[in-house]
Structure 1
Amino acid sequence: MLNNHARILGFFSQVGEVTGRKKLQKMIYILQSSGVPFEEKYQFHFYGPYSEELSLRMEELCNLGFVAEMKEEKSSYIQYHYCLTDQGQDFLQQFSLDMPDYQKKAAVLMDKSSRFLELVATMLFFRDLNHNEVEEKVKKVKPKQRYTTEEFTQAWEMIDKLRQLH
């Protein structure tokens, strides 16, 4: 049980601060889909793949003081920022995590918007379909996003890049 918590803390030790709950959800899902052994279960939800387990785990890590959650009020919503605390770092050092090096993959994801990561994660969720079927499915389940041909191309390129990175 605590190994999964430690893996999330290890994620924050590699990426630093993550802005947005959606971005966090999508980053963990995409990393998991590209071979990083996170164990959270995902279901399809409003914004693509979503893990209730990850949400609960984050709540626990925040309550324990291992992850700091900062709220920033925007004009019409609240933006959340997450980062590892010193207590979280101390806790993490008690674990010997058997995790591959995914620093390069995480860095690629950190540079992308939540909207783009939502597209990539949704495409990966339907990865059992062929390319055309994936794009049609995404357009069907996310019509309001109005993803462009260029965005789909960039998403496929990112998926390929993540497969190649070690």
Structure 2
Amino acid sequence: MLDEHAKVLTVLQYAGEIIGRKKLQKIVFILKKLGYPFREKYGFHFFGPYSEELTLQTEELDNLGFLKETKEKQGGYHQYRYELTPSGETFLQNFKFSFSGLDELVTHLNQQPSRFLELVSTALYFEQLDESEKREKIKTVKAKQNYTEDEIDQAFAFIRDLKKRLVSKTTYS
């Protein structure tokens, strides 16, 4: 159980900070789809793939003082900022993860806008469909986002690039 919490903290450690609950959800989902051993279950929700388990884990980690969740007012809504705390750093010393390439991948994903990660994660959620079916599914389930063909093309290219970057899976003791 604590292994899964430590994996989330490892993502935060590599990211430095993640701005937005949606972004954290999408980064972990994308990493899972790329073969990293995240065990959270995901379903499809308003903003694409969503894990209640990940939400609970972040709440628990915040309550334990291992991550800091800061709520910020942004115009008409609230945005959340996630950072690893010194206690979280100490906690992570109990785990010896070896995530090949994860640090660079997390940095790369964290640099992308949440809207784009929502599109990428939605495409990965429907990966069993062929490309034309996937395009139609995205246009149907994400109609409010009004993604353009160019944005969808960029998301597909981004996924291909991510898959090329993968070298190996995780080992830990």
TM-score, normalized by the shorter chain, greater than 0.5 = yes
What's 1:41 paired with? 41
Query: What runs of 5+ residues in structure 1 fail to find an aligned partner?
Result: none
Q: TM-score, structure 2 length as denominator?
A: 0.93
1:22 counterpart SS class: helix
What's 1:157 paired with? 157
Counterpart AA for 2:60: E
Query: What runs of 5+ residues in structure 2 fail to find an aligned partner?
Result: 167-173
What's 2:29 paired with? 29
Shift of 1:120: 0.4
Shift of 1:71: 1.1
Consecutive aligned runs of 4 or more in structure 1 exceeding 6 Å deviation: none
What's 2:51 paired with? 51
What's 1:79 paired with? 79
Kindly provide the CA deviation profile for residues 111-131 of structure 1, in whole angstroms up to 9, marking residues without a partner as x.
111111000000100000001
What's 2:169 paired with? none
Aligned 1:118-137 pairs, distance under 5 A: 118-137=118-137
Shift of 1:104: 2.2
**In 1: Cα distance, 2:77 partner to 2:110 partner:** 21
Shift of 1:98: 4.5
Shift of 1:3: 0.4
Aligned 1:81-96 pairs, distance under 5 A: 81-96=81-96
More strand by share: 2
Query: More deviation in 51-60 or 90-99?
Result: 90-99
**In 1: Cα distance, 2:26 partner to 2:98 partner:** 22
**In 1: Cα distance, 2:53 partner to 2:90 partner:** 23
**In 2: Cα distance, 1:87 partner to 1:10 partner:** 13
1:108 counterpart SS class: helix
